[in-house]
């Protein structure tokens, strides 16, 4: 009887430790996901500013072309500006979609294993948002440096 009680106690202790470890994993993953979001979110302002500058650049090229000023360089710059504007818009949309779809509070109510899978998936998604955001911003900034020369 003592052995059965001891075995039951050890089993309960083991399960409690495993549950605590799962909760720590979930909390850690959620913290990572939100930290990445918090790092990338301020970049949305840069996206808005760069999109505005690109739109003005496109309008300026269009105005010159409307009065008969044209060159291959201008045409290439316009194509590149339109492409970069779209990449910035796509990165912005990725962030907005991610924020609207993120359900961290609901995920914490799931079974521990499901919650871990959810937060791992969200970490991958927000890392893609970060990558697209930083890449599109860098490309746009490079475009403006090059076109000023």
Name the pLDDT band for 118 (thresholds 50, 70, 90): very high
Distance separating alpha carbons of residues 130 and 125, to the nearest angstrom? 9
> Could you give the dihedral angle defined by the CA atoms of residues 120, 123, 124 and 130, in that order, rounded to the nearest 10 degrees?
180
pLDDT, one tens digit per residue, over 11-33 is 554 555 556 677 888 999 999 99
Greatest Cα pair distance in the chain: 99
- Percentage of the chain beyond pLDDT 70 is 86
* H helix or E strand, kind and range, residue 44: helix 43-66
pLDDT, one tens digit per residue, over 34-52 is 999 999 999 999 999 999 9
Task: Give the residue-averaged pLDDT of 82-102.
Answer: 97
Q: Are 40 and 95 in contact (CB under 8 A)?
A: yes
> Could you give the dihedral angle defined by the CA atoms of residues 72, 74, 78 and 83, in that order, rounded to the nearest 10 degrees?
60
Query: What token pair was written down for 35?
Result: 């930290």
């Amino acid at each position: 009887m003592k052995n059965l009680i001891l075995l039951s106690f050890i089993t309960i202790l083991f399960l409690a430790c495993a549950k605590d470890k799962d909760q720590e994993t979930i909390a850690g993953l959620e913290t990572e996901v939100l930290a990445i979001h918090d790092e990338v979110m301020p970049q949305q302002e840069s996206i808005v500013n760069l999109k505005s500058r690109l739109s003005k650049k496109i309008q300026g090229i269009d105005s010159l072309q409307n009065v008969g000023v044209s060159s291959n360089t201008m045409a290439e710059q316009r194509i590149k500006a339109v492409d970069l504007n779209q990449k910035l818009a796509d990165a912005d949309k990725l962030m907005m979609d991610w924020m609207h779809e993120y359900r961290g509070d609901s995920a914490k109510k799931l079974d521990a294993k499901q919650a871990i899978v959810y937060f791992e998936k969200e970490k991958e998604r927000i890392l893609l948002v970060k990558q697209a955001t930083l890449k599109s911003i860098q490309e746009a900034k490079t475009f403006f440096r090059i076109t000023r020369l």
